[in-house]
Copies of this chain bind each other. A is one copy, B any other.
């Protein structure tokens, strides 16, 4: 066995030797069980130091291509691996045997009926805003601006995002009190991509991640798919319970805290400033980064807006995530992450493996929205959404006074309601679907698929008032029927128990 080494390149000699020997093994030139030359012989033949050959052989050993034989030098071998007996060629491939654990499973413990499509008329399960209120003309005006850019939006964009869009995003974040330069911003293909990137970047299989209980099901699915351990922390009326968080941080050493402190999805809770300060302090003390999800910037209906965690953060502990999906249109698939600059750069490397860059066409349209067209749109929709929320609250009080309770959300798109003790959300959903109205049942929002059996989430923003009234009337009748059935079921149980006792 001899080959030539290339002394002109910067490739280390041990790498070259390892590579050449590997080639000889895999091409069959060095069959299994055959002996490699002794290290000092090969070193002499190639004119290199013996350590160089040893290092190369060690690499091959780590790959499982060679093994040491007591008293017999190094032989070609694949320890524990025989030549696999080939299968017949006429059988189809069994893909189900091939998937990794990353292919996400469905939620355990919930078998929610298939939900209707977004477009269906009385769908309060949907996650999108009122797209029919979108200023189409202004959108197409924006597209004409794109048109004037000629071929640019048809080329690859920088993986971190279009510089002009990042500049406009930085300005808009600065207006909300965050210190943001374009180099700290990563443009995303929707907000969910930020959760995905953070999970990939910071969570190995088995690492803990703090999540609110309840929280956004899509986030749970992403964390589960990387094999993370969910560390749920319950909420009270001020958001994340910091006493439980501190126990979790000190004893379970999670690697990431995922939190939606403003208009929390699904509960609508907003964390007060003072608690935000203490949350940051805890994260800093235990050296755990926070991923702050802020999907509804500007969708505030009551009271004053509270500063985002990123605006209060002084130690660079917060990744701030937001999106155009809820304040403008989900179809643009535009989100952004504000991070310390080196973190933004690392995450850009990850993102470029996922989709190279966010659609430059979508980015160009988004750029044309900032700041004027977007703020005009917000001025239009905020009063409309506020009054739709009030309509929904009034209708719920009217239709479900004894059967459910809820707090009026101060922002966002969703209302979270809890049913009375004897009612469950899934049977209610079945009745509701029969009435042509739908909502999201609560269980999938809970990290362990348990805890939301009596809860439901309703979208108050996507439908006009008349639709809300009609939908809640139908939900009310579904509620009454579910309550009746529950009472019947209990009576039957009691009768059955009585019968059984009679038999004893």
Contacts and interface: CB of A to CB of B under 8 A. Distances in A.
Given A103-B349, A361-B361, A15 B247 contact: no
A333 B353 contact: no
A153 B332 CA distance: 8
Interface in A279-318: 281, 284-287, 289, 315-317
Interface stretch (A19-27, A34-42, A385-393, A431-439): A19-27
Interface string A408-452: 000000000000001010100000000000000000000011110
A62 B247 CA distance: 19
A133 to B, nearest CB: 9
Given A89-B284, A103-B201, A147-B140, A28 B243 contact: yes
Contacts of A450: 9, 11, 15-16, 19
A250 B83 contact: yes
A20 to B, nearest CB: 10
A32 interface: yes
Contact of A287 (B23, B94, B111, B244): B94
Interface string A184-197: 00000110110010
A347 B104 CA distance: 9
Interface string A101-116: 1111000010100000
Contacts of A469: none
B89 A243 contact: no
Interface in A243-277: 243-244, 247-253, 255
Given A244-B27, A255-B98, A332-B361, A128 B147 contact: no
A243 B202 contact: no
Contact of A15 (B84, B131, B448): B448
Contact of A317 (B93, B252, B359, B360): B93
Interface in A349-405: 349-350, 353-362, 365
A136 B109 contact: no
B98 A289 contact: yes
A71 interface: no
Contacts of A143: 143
Interface stretch (A154-162, A164-172, A175-183, A494-502): A154-162
Nearest to A290: B93
Nearest to A251: B78
Contacts of A192: 353-356
A331 interface: yes
Contacts of A350: 102-104, 225
Contacts of A354: 189, 192-193, 196, 354-355
Nearest to A97: B287
A355 B189 contact: yes
Nearest to A221: B353
B360 A361 contact: no
Given A89-B315, A99-B202, A201-B102, A132 B151 contact: yes
Contact of A23 (B119, B234, B361): B234
20 contacts: A9-B450, A10-B426, A11-B450, A19-B451, A23-B234, A26-B248, A26-B252, A81-B251, A95-B316, A95-B343, A100-B200, A101-B204, A154-B330, A189-B359, A190-B355, A192-B355, A192-B356, A196-B354, A333-B360, A359-B359
